[in-house]
Amino acid sequence: MSDASLHGKRAIITAGASGIGRVVASRLIADGARVAICDIDAKALDRVSAELPGSLAVRCDVSDPAAVAAVAAKMMDHLGGIDILVNNAGSAGPTAAVQDIEPADWDACIGVNMTSQFLFTRAVVPAMIAQRSGCIVNMSSSAGRFPMALRLPYVAAKWAVIGMTQSLAMELGPHNIRVNAILPGSVRGDRINRVMAARAASTGKTIAEIEREEVASMSMGRLIEPEEIATMIAFVASDAGRSISGQSLGVDGNTEVLR
């Protein structure tokens, strides 16, 4: 068995019913892991339950502390423990000038993109410490390295995820628990389509113009495929990545600047 195998590993993936999370779940299962996913979208959970037999799919508001504690316990009970946590849940948040952002929209964006990662990490770390092993993968973004106008809550959260990742790697390393952040660029799918539509509406540009700007910001000149994110996560979570911790790993086609 190669070091890249995830055979027998137990993984929890937040927001795993669609988009990048759905692709990550499928990849980890293909590599031998047993998977439990949560999502806020009940219909998407029904679909993924049918598509990924044997996996546990549970509805959860990832920014609700009580809900996260209950769901994480249910998932670990189903899996018989936890080896891998993929904190994938994310929200684009508002596209607006700072003076037009409602505090409730700020809180919601921070809650999904950052607080959820703290809550799930807090819930699973005792089990990882007890077994002296574990891998936590936090989803950040290229927006965690570059400023962006009109996207303040999202950028603030993604920068914070990197700081949280590095602090956790330092804190948990002595327990043989690795913590890394993945920084995707513009990934093909529904989320980037919604973001581009919002930017077009707020700037008066066409969606085609916004898409050209997205691609122009990357040296490789193309959108990232969800499967490329899943490949990086699978590698980092495997024994092949056993010495990788505290890192911010870009999968972004060399994003040079965000607009």
Position 2 scores a pLDDT of 67
Count of domains in the chain? 2
Pull the structure tokens for residue 26: 């499928």
Q: Based on the domain organization, do 197 and 239 belong to the same domain?
A: no
pLDDT in tens, 30-58: 999 999 999 999 999 999 988 887 889 99
Question: Is residue 58 within a helix (H) or strand (E), and if so which, with residue range?
Answer: strand 56-59
Q: Based on the domain organization, do 193 and 118 belong to the same domain?
A: no
Is 154 assigned a catalytic role?
Answer: yes
Q: Based on the domain organization, do 85 and 20 belong to the same domain?
A: yes
> What would the DSSP string read from start to end of 124-177?
HHHHHHHHT-EEEEEE--GGGTS--TT-HHHHHHHHHHHHHHHHHHHHHGGGTE
CATH number at 179 reads: 3.40.50.720
Residues in the chain predicted with pLDDT less than 50, given as ranges, are none
Q: Which residues contact 64 (CB under 8 A, 6 or more apart)?
A: none
Position 255 scores a pLDDT of 76
Q: Based on the domain organization, do 24 and 111 belong to the same domain?
A: yes
Catalytic pick among 38, 90, 154, 232:
154
On whether residue 2 sits in a domain, the answer given is no
Pull the structure tokens for residue 70: 């209950």
Position 219 scores a pLDDT of 80
Position 110 scores a pLDDT of 98
Position 256 scores a pLDDT of 67
3-state secondary structure of 183: strand
Q: Based on the domain organization, do 106 and 217 belong to the same domain?
A: no
The one-letter amino acid code at 148 reads M
Position 224 scores a pLDDT of 85
The CA distance from 66 to 62, in Å, is: 9
Burial class (CB in 10 A: 0-12, 13-18, 19+), 105: middle
Q: Based on the domain organization, do 181 and 197 belong to the same domain?
A: no
On whether residue 162 sits in a domain, the answer given is yes
| Domain residue limits at 201 | 186-223
Residue whose C-alpha is closest to residue 178's, from 134, 140, 139 = 134
On whether residue 14 sits in a domain, the answer given is yes
On whether residue 5 sits in a domain, the answer given is no
Position 220 scores a pLDDT of 78
On whether residue 230 sits in a domain, the answer given is yes
Q: Based on the domain organization, do 71 and 198 belong to the same domain?
A: no
Position 195 scores a pLDDT of 77
Q: Based on the domain organization, do 157 and 229 belong to the same domain?
A: yes
